Amino acid sequence: MARIDGSVSASVLAMVLTGAFSGALVGLVLASVVTNQVWLAIVTAFVAVAIALLVRRAVFGSTFELFDLQGLGFWQAIVASLIGGLAGHELAIDLREPPVSPLIGATSGLFASILMATFVITLSHRRS
């Protein structure tokens, strides 16, 4: 059984916070370019996942390559972006009608980065 240490928790926390913050910023920036709120949520979720992965790699380093196994990591990022974007959009609508773009981006980035963090944890424990 793999040992769970503090670096995993810190890595997940960094990914989730980065995903929410970068999602809010990207949502604010793309609000004038992308007029459809659902597409805005999906795009911000994908960018938030990419930035969260970059921050995780820069701060904590990585002992494995995430995007190998014939693009498994890339497809997981796509799935996390779709599910996180749609869930974030629905939550943003429930919180405020009409939702503002930073709220859509923050909730979408938060959910997508949580999904991607679970994939990273599963993959890292499976390889150890």
Q: Which residues of 73-103 are buried (b: 16+ CB within 10 A; e: fewer)?
A: beebbeebbbbbbbbbbbbbbeeeeebebbb
Length of the chain: 128
pLDDT tens digits along 10-44: 888 899 999 999 999 999 999 989 889 999 999 99
**Euclidean distance between CA atoms 60 and 35, whole angstroms:** 36
| Per-residue CA distances from 84 to 30, 63, 70, 100 (Å) | 17, 26, 23, 17
pLDDT tens digits along 62-91: 655 555 545 677 888 899 999 999 999 999
